Every structure is written in C-alpha cells, then in structure tokens.
Structure 1
Amino acid sequence: MNFYGLFGESLVHSHSPSLHKLIYQKIGLDAAYKLFAFPPTQLKQAMDGVRTLSIKGVNVTIPYKEAVIPYLDEIGPFAKKLGAVNTIENVNGKLIGHNTDYSGFGLVLSRRNWDVNGKIAVILGSGGASKTVEAYLMDHGIQMIYIVSRNPERFKDTKNKQYTNYEDVQYLKGDFLINTSPVGMYPNVNETPLSETSIQRFDYLIDLIYNPSETTFLKLGRENNKQTANGLDMLVGQAVRAVEIWEKCSIDEQVTKELISEWKKRHGESL
C-alpha cells in the first residue's frame, strides 16, 4: 500500500482524505491518505519526515505552497514558473515539487464554458494560489488583471497586470472576480473579502474555497444574479492530477466528471 497525505497548518475540516479515498476506489488503487497539520516552525522536520517514513507523495496547502520550495531537491518547470508547489513526489528519497492547481482551476472554467479571452479579472490575494490563477488567465488571453494585496508595493506592475490594495479595489470593475484568499473559509463563514457593493460590479464570481460550499462572498454574488462557482472543481481536478503524477498513470476525463458528481451528491449540493 502506498501512503500519501496533505501538509498544512490547519486541516481539521479538510475534505482531501475522503476525496482521495473516492479517487482510489474509482481507479482501483490500494492507497491511504492522511492529514499532516503542523506549525511553520516544523516545516523542515515535516519535509525530512517524507523521506524518513517513505511517504510516496504529499499535497501542500496554505501556508506552505511557497515555503516548501527551499526544501525540495527538484522543481518541475511549471511549478518553477508559478513559484508555488501544491504536490510533492517522493522518488526514492528525492523530493520533486509540482503544481496541479493550474489544471484544477481550468476545470472550473471549462465545465461552465466561461471564456476569459479579452476579459478583465480581479484576483483577491497575492499568494501561491493567486499566482496559479494569474498564470492560467494570462495563458488564456485575459486582457487585464488587477491583483489585490495587503502589501501591493512589494510587487511590480506590468502592461496587463496591476497591483492594488483592499481600499482601492472598491473603485474597480470587470468581468471576473476571483477570491484566492482564505477569507470566508470555515469556521469564519460570515466573513467576505469584499463588500456587496464591490461585488455588484462583476459578472462572474469564483471562490477557491470549497468549505463551506457557498461562502458569504458567493452568496452575495448569487443574490445579485451573478454567475458563481466555488473551488470544488479545482479541488477534484488538482487531486486527480496529483494521483496521476504519484502513480504514473492517466485518469480518464469521464472519471473526473463522475467524481465531481458523486462528491456533490454526498454533500447535498445541487448539480
């Protein structure tokens, strides 16, 4: 049996173990998936533990997607480009970093036939997940991206990318509004990164959070007749890609669709 897991700081309400169990059942894989929660001061020990305990691979979530990079032996070209790792592969003690969030985010858009070409997007947050979303949008023809950060002065603007703060974002409007921050995540379910007034100036709202399935951010969008999507498709998509990397296999697209449908039924969400 192969052992896998998830690295993060607070994982009490993570759905990843049950999701991976479902994937393993679907493809007939004998494997186990565990949660590994620890404070930032123990990151090095945790990475050493992957080698010592012969854990075949781990996923990485907030706040370690960028912090794990110095502890890796190798970084795939895509993860290097994004500056963020969410999947680590253990090949005989050699730790290789990958990023599967890119394909996961693409699934959110493709399943809804949402086209970003020529559009304007505002991304809330400037961490690892934000970089992944930014790269996907750039690769698919976005016209302009505004990235909202608590410290925008740390970044450099480009021709089609500008950084701003949470005070000035209230003056922006566009097509896509994407929350990559943890604001609104369980248990702080009443929080929202932007006010209802700001939300009204966009057509499509995406929240990478999937627990709760409808954040206050998305609820405000729905009540204002906006198109909304949570992070479930991204969660499933990136998990499937991680298993493909770990097991050196290819999982059929239909299996991914079935996984999303079964997951929604289990959790009482409408299809």
Structure 2
Amino acid sequence: MKFYGLLGESLVHSHSPSLHKLIYQKVGLDAAYKLFEFPSTQLEQAIDGIRTLSINGVNVTIPYKEAVIPYLDEVSPFAKKLGAVNTIENANGRLIGHNTDYDGFGLILTRRQWDVNGKIAVVLGSGGASKTVEAYLMDHGIKMIYIVSRNPERFKDTRNKRYTNYEDVQSLTGDFLINTSPVGMYPNANETPLSETSIQQFDYLIDLIYNPSETTFLRLGRENNKQTANGLDMLVGQAVRAVEVWEKCSIDEQVTEELISEWKKRHGESL
C-alpha cells in the first residue's frame, strides 16, 4: 500500500481524505491518504518526515504553498514560475515540488464555459493560491487584474496588474471577483471578504473555498443574481492531477466528471 497526505496548519475543514479515497477506488490504486496538521515552526521537520516515513507524496495547503519551497530538493519549472507548490512527489527520498492548482482552477472556468479573455478580474488575497489564479488568468487573455492584499506596498504593479488594499477595492468594478483567501471557510462560515455592495459590481463570483459549499460571499452573489462557483471543481481537478504526478499515469477526463458528480450527490452540493 502507498501512503499520501496533506500538509497544512488547520485541516479540520478538509475533505481531501474522502476525495482521494474515491479517486483511488476509481483508478484501482491501493493507497491511503492522511492529514498532517502542524504549526509553521515545525515545517522543516514535517518535510523531513516525508523522507523518514517513506510517504510517497503529499499535497500542501494554506499557509505552506510558498514556505515549503526552500526545503525541497527540486521544484518543477512550472511551480517555480508560479512561486507556489501544492504537490510534493517523493522520488526515492528526493522531494520534488509541483503545482496542480493551475489545472484545478482552470476546470472551474472550462466546465462553465466562462471566458476571461479581455475581461477585468479582482483577486482577493496575495498568497500561493492567488499567484496560481493570476498566472491562469494572464495565460488566458485577461485584460486587467487587481490583486487585493493587506500589504499591497510589498508588490510591484505592472501594465495589466495592480495591487490594492481591502479598503480601496470597494470602489472597483469588473467582470470576475475571485476569493483566494481563507475568509469564509469553515468554521467561520458567516464571514465574507467583501461587502454586498462591492459584490454587486461584478458579474461572476468564484470562491476557492469548498467547505461550506456556499460561503456567505457566494450566497450574497447568488442573491444578487450573479453567476457563482465554489472551489469543488478545483479541489477535484488538482487532486486528480496530483495522483497523475505521483503515479506517473493519465486519468481520463470522464473520471473527473464522475468524481464531481458523485461528490455533489454525497454532500448535497448545488454549485
């Protein structure tokens, strides 16, 4: 049996073990998936533990997608470009960082046929997930991106990318409003990163959070007749891609569709 898992600081909300169990059943893989929760002070020890315990691979979530990079033996060119790792492969004790979030985020848009070409997007949050979303939008023709950060002065603006704070973002309008921050995640489901007034200025709302399936952020969007999507497609898409990386295999797109459909039936999700 092979062993995989998830590294994170707070994983009480995670559905990853049950999702991976479903994937392994679909592809006939004898494997188990565990949660590895620890404080940031123990990150280096956790990475060493992957080698010591011969764990075949792990996913990485908030807040370690950028922080793990210095502790890895190698980072794929794509993950290095994004500046974020969400999947680590243990190749005989050599730890290699990958990014499968890019494909996962793309699945949210492609399954709904939402086109970002020539559009304006506001991205809430400036961490590893934000960098991945930003890269995807840039690669698919976005006209302008506004990145909302608590400390926008740390970043440098470019021709089609601007950094702003949560106060000034309230005056912005655009097409896509994307939450990559943990605000609104279980158990703090009543929180929202932006007010209803701000949400009304956009047509499409995407929240990378999948638990709860409808955050307060998305509920406000729905109540204002906006197109909304949660992070379920991204969760499934990146997980399938991670298994492909670990197992050096290719999983049919139909399997991904079946996984999303079965997950919604099990959890009563409507988004």
Task: Give the secondary-structure state (helix, strand or coil) at the position aligned to 2:210.
Answer: coil
What secondary structure is seen at the aligned counterpart in 1 of 2:242? helix
CA deviation after TM superposition for structure 1 residue 13, in Å: 2.1
* Counterpart check, 1:122 vs 2:86: no
Residue number in structure 2 paired with 1:246: 246
State the 4+ residue runs in structure 1 displaced beyond 2 angstroms: none
CA distance in 2 between partners of 1:224 and 1:12 (Å) = 31
- 2:249 counterpart letter in structure 1: C
Given residue 181 of structure 1, which amino acid in structure 2 is its aligned partner?
A: S
Q: Secondary structure at the match of 1:136?
A: helix
What letter is aligned with 1:164? T
Partners in 2 of 1:264 and 1:77 — Cα distance? 34
Aligned 1:228-247 pairs, distance under 5 A: 228-247=228-247
2:256 matches 1:259: no
Deviations 1:235-260 (A, max 9, x none): 00000000000000000000000000
Q: Which residue of 1 aligns with 2:164?
A: 164
The residue number in structure 2 matching 1:59 is 59
State the SS of the aligned residue for 2:256: helix
| Structure 2 unaligned residues grouped into runs of 5+ | none
Tell me if 1:193 matches 2:193: yes
Q: Matched residue of 1:108: which SS?
A: helix
Aligned to 2:215: 215
Measure the CA separation in 2 of the matches of 1:77 and 1:242.
Answer: 16
Instruction: Confirm or deny that 1:12 pairs with 2:8.
Output: no
Is 1:143 aligned to 2:123, yes or no? no
Superposition deviation, residue 216 in structure 1: 0.1
CA distance in 1: counterparts of 2:116 and 2:77, whole angstroms: 24
Residue of structure 2 equivalent to 1:49: 49
* TM superposition shift of 1:269: 1.6
User: For residue 87 of structure 1, what is the aligned residue in structure 2?
Assistant: 87
Q: 2:241 is matched by which residue type in structure 1?
A: R
TM-score of the two chains, using structure 2 as the length reference? 0.99
Quick one: which amino acid aligns to residue 114 of structure 1?
W
Q: Which amino acid aligns with 1:170?
A: Q
* Secondary structure of 2:85's aligned partner: coil
1:134 maps to 134
* Structure 1 unaligned spans of 5+: none
How big is each residue's C-alpha offset from its partner over 1:147-172, in whole Å with a ceiling of 9 and x where there is no partner?
Answer: 00000000000000000000000000
Distance 1:50 1:157 in 2: 38
C-alpha distance in 2 between matches for 1:161 and 1:11: 32
Amino acid at match of 2:164: T
1:181 partner SS? coil
In 2, the alpha carbon distance for the partners of 1:86 and 1:235 equals 11
Residue 12 of structure 1 deviates from its aligned partner by 1.5
- Aligned AA (1:69): I
Amino acid of the structure 1 residue aligned with 2:182: P
1:173 alignment counterpart:
173
Distance 1:243 1:221 in 2: 33
Matching residue's letter, 2:247: E
State the alpha-carbon separation in 2 of the partners of residues 221 and 213 from structure 1. Answer: 13
Paired residue secondary structure (1:3): strand
Amino acid at match of 1:241: R
Shift of residue 22 of structure 1? 0.2
The Cα offsets for residues 166-198 of structure 1, whole Å up to 9 and x where unpaired, read as: 000000000000000000000000000000000
Give secondary structure in 1 for the equivalent of 2:112: coil
Letter in 1 for 2:256: T
1:23 aligns with 23
Q: Counterparts of 1:196 and 1:268 in 2: how far apart (Å)? A: 26
Q: Shift in Å at residue 270 of structure 1?
A: 2.9
Aligned length: 271
SS, match of residue 206 in structure 1: strand
- Which amino acid in 1 is paired with 2:195? S
Q: TM-score scaled to structure 1, two decimals?
A: 0.99
For the residues of structure 1 that align with 2:268 and 2:59, how far apart are their CA atoms?
26
